[in-house]
Structure 1
Amino acid sequence: MSEPLLPEHAEIAAELRALEAGLDPSELHGSLCGYLSGGGRHDRGSWFALVMSDPLLSPPVADGALDRLYVASTRQLDSPDFEFELLLPPEDRPVSERGDGLLAWGRGFLGGFGLAAGANPPLSEESQEALADLARIAASDLSYEDPEADEEALEEVSEFVRVAVMLLHSDCVLGPRHRRKLN
């Protein structure tokens, strides 16, 4: 069974504009995935206020783009099929825009992860390295000079980020959940 698809980048952007949230869709998805991967307590109604650190925010509209973003993200991260994907600008956008989206996604992830996991999460050595690498990527300053090489590099870095997120989610959420079932 295929996991639910993420809403389109443009759908999330439109809903964020309507809410006057002033946040990039990729950064929001990164924040949500960081929060989920860090083991933050959440539910379908409260996640947006938690991730935005604003308890006064209303829950996303049922079946709206933000609600579907939450549903798809939680299911993809929990999927044993490794179908997790990043919400980035679409492939028909320039590589520079997609690269900037990846950096925003990474910054959002780090913020959400820190919010949920705290200062010293119980990470494996491999996850500690992945988190440090994600921080380096998010702090990168990109230059775009060779479109073909830039395209390939973006694909490789995006795949690294995707796998690193699944590893961190496994350490902080799936591992503890599995241990609770065994006890």
Structure 2
Amino acid sequence: MSTPPSLQIEKLMAILMAEGIGLHPSELHGTIVGIISGGVEQTTEAWQPLLIELSNNNEPFPPSVQSQLNELYQDTLNRLDDFDFGFTLLLPEEEEPLNVRVDALFLWVNNFLSALAIAQPKLNDSSERIQQYIEVMSNIFSDGAEVGDDEDSESAFFELLDFVREAAMNCYSEFAPEVMVDDSTNCNTLH
């Protein structure tokens, strides 16, 4: 069973703070999703060096942080791979002020786009749909946004959130490597 995003963000934030690492969990999740969606091999730990390079200046994470990131990676991969799991972005809960959630989404998207660009060398040759997602996200999230505290701002946030979620899932669908199933173990020999 997977851990709900609200518990993941709290647990990861506590571990990062305890280790003196000044990263937000949304940054790390955006990077992980960008790496996965960019098509990095999933059956190995190929994602870890990229995460370390992009997020921690090539310094390995302490074991407590790496353990939590391993769990987050696997949970994220499962959620992207199986639409029934319900892929969600690791962001603060709805109870948090809108500006806090918008800032976290800004961090998530910027880290997602950076990781995707590095993980997927043929990004410029991707489908028109993927190019449009990337262009729109780059334009919307290139500058910080002024956020109101009204229903229209809240509604706009959820529209952006849905768009970003859809973009990430479509990038994953386009770039994720095919997982080869070993059929040699399924011998259907009739005697």
Instruction: Tell whether the structures are fold-level matches, with TM greater than 0.5.
Output: yes
1:16 shift after superposition:
1.8
The answer to whether 1:161 aligns with 2:164 is yes
1:20 shift after superposition:
2.8
Extract unaligned runs of 5+ from structure 2: 182-191
Give the match for residue 38 of structure 2: 38
Q: Is the 8 A contact 1:144 1:150 kept in 2?
A: yes
1:68 shift after superposition:
2.1
1:41 shift after superposition:
3.2
Question: Relative to 1, partners in 2 of residues 1:122 and 1:177: Cα closer, same or farther, differing over 3 Å?
Answer: farther
The answer to whether 1:133 aligns with 2:136 is yes
Report the 3-state secondary structure (helix = DSSP H, G, I; strand = E; otherwise coil) of the residue aligned with 1:65: helix
Distance in 1 of aligned mates of 2:25 and 2:74 = 16
Extract unaligned runs of 5+ from structure 1: none
Give the match for residue 28 of structure 1: 28
The answer to whether 1:81 aligns with 2:79 is no
Report the 3-state secondary structure (helix = DSSP H, G, I; strand = E; otherwise coil) of the residue aligned with 1:177: coil
Q: Which moved more, 1:99-108 or 1:40-49?
A: 40-49
Encode CA deviations 1:77-102: one digit per residue, 9 max, x unaligned. Answer: 11143711000111111000001110
1:9 shift after superposition:
1.6
The answer to whether 1:177 aligns with 2:184 is no
Question: Relative to 1, partners in 2 of residues 1:59 and 1:142: Cα closer, same or farther, differing over 3 Å?
Answer: same
TM-score (norm 1): 0.82
1:70 shift after superposition:
1.1
Distance in 2 of aligned mates of 1:48 and 1:20 = 20
> One-letter code of the match for 2:174?
D
How many aligned positions are there?
177
Question: Relative to 1, partners in 2 of residues 1:113 and 1:31: Cα closer, same or farther, differing over 3 Å?
Answer: same
Distance in 1 of aligned mates of 2:147 and 2:12 = 26
Give the match for residue 72 of structure 1: 75
Give me the CA root mean square deviation.
2.7
Question: Relative to 1, partners in 2 of residues 1:17 and 1:124: Cα closer, same or farther, differing over 3 Å?
Answer: same
Distance in 2 of aligned mates of 1:119 and 1:140 = 26
1:164 shift after superposition:
0.6
Report the 3-state secondary structure (helix = DSSP H, G, I; strand = E; otherwise coil) of the residue aligned with 2:84: coil
Distance in 1 of aligned mates of 2:19 and 2:44 = 18
Encode CA deviations 1:118-175: one digit per residue, 9 max, x unaligned. Answer: 26454111111111112123213211234211111111100000001101111111xx
Q: Is the 8 A contact 2:78 2:85 kept in 1?
A: no
Report the 3-state secondary structure (helix = DSSP H, G, I; strand = E; otherwise coil) of the residue aligned with 1:140: coil
Report the 3-state secondary structure (helix = DSSP H, G, I; strand = E; otherwise coil) of the residue aligned with 2:164: helix
Larger CA Rg, structure 1 vs 2: 2
Question: Relative to 1, partners in 2 of residues 1:48 and 1:18: Cα closer, same or farther, differing over 3 Å?
Answer: farther
Percentage of matched positions with identical amino acids:
32
